[in-house]
């Protein structure tokens, strides 16, 4: 049975929701599920905007045939070739050999590499090219590395609709709701949206800023991303979030404390520090066990808050391995511009503080507060005083 939603009078959402996939990209947990959005325009010509992941292909094909209602499929615009959107392309083109593919030169190269849709006619487009499908004219905006090199956005100049590929997307199955004003986005979706952006697209902040600048000149009335809700109200609010994420600018004054502890003593230091911060009036504090919390959540929280504390045991003269992974991920995602406090622990040769500092100094615009606070096996009066001093300097560095 088909399951579609009307976006406008002549545009339909024909995608699917996946609650079974445990790990997005086989890396990031998605307990909230995910949607793969595909859109079909019924104009003088019929135009499909991207396809869907293999997981939802059956539903997607039923939706496509239902909305086409016997009409031929004239065009398929491929904004993004990643298989979570293009895996079903081969199935669609087998059913619709008449469909002309419109995409970038790079995307066509990738189609060849993946072996998708080799028989269909192809039209290569570049920046500012336009196509008219009847009432609707679209223009193409190249968006390389948002989030793969072949990506483009398509802008429907008739209705002001931006088909934004992975940009402005989020984890989370739609489950019937399609528009941002049908959900409480700030309450229920902002956390997955931040985790999606920072982990999936986060590395390409510069490219995202470049394309946001280009999009700034357009009269955008609606954003149709490839994952998550369609935006038709409060576009400025969501775009502003992306500007912050793309520039790695904190959204909130607050402290994320991430600890790595084997026997609970570094954990106790982290809890003590959190309590001291709250006692001194800074209550916007979060504490995470680096072994327990998937790194994608830690990355999102690091992007969100102004201050970060890393507390790690020494492990075979090194940083605790899961903490090392977290730091490595921050580096890989070009995380920058934070004030950081450090807590180290060890029992015979304490190294983790100096090693974490060395890694943090490789990131841009990091302010590392005096320290580290050294805990020798367990917190004693001296290290408790160190934690108190760290709490004070974290608060002092926040300004007013």
Ligand X SMILES: Cc1cc2nc3c(=O)[nH]c(=O)nc-3n(C[C@H](O)[C@H](O)[C@H](O)COP(=O)(O)O)c2cc1C
Closer residue to ligand X, CB minimum distance, 97 or 264: 264
- Cα angle for residues 74, 78, 84 (degrees, 5° grid): 125
Binding residues for Fe ion restricted to 65-94, rule: CB under 5 A: 82, 84
Size of interface with Fe ion, in residues (CB under 5 A) = 4
DSSP assignment string, 193-216: HHHHIIIIIGGGHHHHHHHHHHHH
Rounded distance between C-alpha atoms, residue 202 and residue 194, angstroms: 9
CB of 75 to Fe ion, least distance (A): 21
Q: In this structure, how many other beta carbons lie within 10 angstroms of the beta carbon of residue 176?
A: 9
Which of 6-14, 108-116, 190-198, 255-263 is the region at the interface with ligand X (rule: CB under 6 A)?
Answer: 255-263
350 binds, among Fe ion, ligand X, none (CB under 5 to 8 A by kind): ligand X
The least CB distance from residue 349 to ligand X, in Å, is: 4
Of 125-133, 154-162, 220-228, 311-319, which part binds ligand X (CB under 6 A)?
311-319
Q: Look at residue 237 and give the partner it binds from ligand X, Fe ion, none, a contact being a CB closer than 5 to 8 Å depending on partner kind.
A: none
Per partner kind, with CB cut-offs from 5 to 8 A, the member of Fe ion, ligand X, none near residue 377 is: ligand X
Binder of residue 1, out of Fe ion, ligand X, none (CB less than 5 to 8 A by kind): none
Q: Which CB sits closer to ligand X, 142 or 274?
A: 274
Query: What residue 199 binds from Fe ion, ligand X, none (CB within 5 to 8 A, per partner kind)?
Result: none
Applying CB under 5 A, among 28, 96, 131, 147 the residue interacting with Fe ion is 147
Rounded Cα distance, 280 and 127, in Å: 54
Strands 305-315 and 339-346: parallel
Residue 227, classified by CB atoms within 10 Å of its CB into exposed (0-12), middle (13-18) or buried (19+), is buried
Of 264, 283, 273, 188, the C-alpha closest to 229 is 188
385 neighbors 357 (Cβ within 8 angstroms): no
Q: How far is the C-alpha of 224 from the C-alpha of 230, rounded, in Å?
A: 5
Helix (H) or strand (E) holding 305, with range, is strand 305-315
Does 380 bind ligand X (CB under 6 A)? Our answer is no
Task: Give the shortest CB-399-to-ligand X separation in angstroms.
Answer: 32
**What are the residues binding ligand X (CB under 6 A)?**
261-266, 313-317, 345-350, 377
**What are the residues binding Fe ion (CB under 5 A)?**
82, 84, 147, 166
């Amino acid at each position: 049975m088909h399951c579609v939603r009307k976006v406008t009078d002549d545009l339909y959402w024909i995608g699917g929701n996946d609650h079974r996939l445990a790990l997005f990209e086989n890396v990031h947990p998605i307990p909230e599920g995910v949607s793969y959005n595909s859109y079909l325009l019924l104009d003088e010509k019929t135009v499909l905007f991207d396809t869907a992941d293999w997981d939802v292909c059956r539903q997607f094909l039923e939706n496509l045939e239902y909305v086409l209602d016997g009409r031929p499929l004239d065009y398929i615009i491929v904004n993004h070739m990643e298989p979570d959107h293009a895996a079903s392309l081969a199935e669609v083109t087998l059913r619709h050999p008449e469909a002309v593919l419109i995409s970038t030169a790079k995307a066509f190269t990738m189609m060849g590499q993946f072996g998708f849709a080799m028989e269909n006619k192809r039209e290569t487009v570049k920046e500012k090219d336009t196509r008219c499908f009847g009432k609707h004219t679209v223009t193409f905006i190249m968006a390389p590395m948002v989030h793969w090199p072949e990506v483009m956005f398509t802008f429907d100049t008739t209705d002001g609709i931006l088909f934004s590929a992975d940009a402005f997307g989020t984890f989370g199955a739609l489950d019937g709701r399609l528009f941002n004003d049908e959900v409480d986005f700030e309450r229920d979706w902002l956390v997955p949206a931040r985790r999606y952006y920072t982990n999936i697209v986060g590395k390409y902040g510069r490219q995202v800023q470049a394309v946001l600048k280009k999009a700034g000149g357009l009269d955008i009335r609606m954003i149709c991303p490839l994952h998550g809700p369609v935006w038709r109200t409060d576009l400025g609010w969501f775009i502003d979030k992306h500007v912050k994420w793309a520039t790695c600018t904190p959204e909130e004054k607050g402290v994320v404390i991430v600890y790595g502890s084997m026997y609970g003593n570094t954990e106790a230091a982290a809890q003590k520090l959190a309590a001291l911060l709250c006692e001194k009036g800074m209550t916007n504090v979060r504490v995470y066990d680096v072994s327990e919390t998937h790194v994608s959540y830690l990355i999102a929280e690091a992007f969100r808050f102004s201050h970060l504390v890393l507390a790690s045991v020494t492990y075979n003269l090194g940083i605790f391995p899961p903490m090392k992974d977290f730091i490595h991920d921050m580096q890989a995602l070009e995380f920058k511009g934070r004030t950081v406090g450090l807590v180290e622990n060890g029992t015979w040769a304490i190294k983790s503080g100096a090693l974490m500092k060395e890694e943090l100094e490789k990131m841009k615009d990091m302010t590392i507060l005096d320290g580290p606070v050294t805990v020798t096996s367990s917190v004693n009066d001296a290290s408790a005083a160190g934690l108190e001093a760290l709490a004070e300097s974290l608060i002092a560095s926040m300004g007013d």
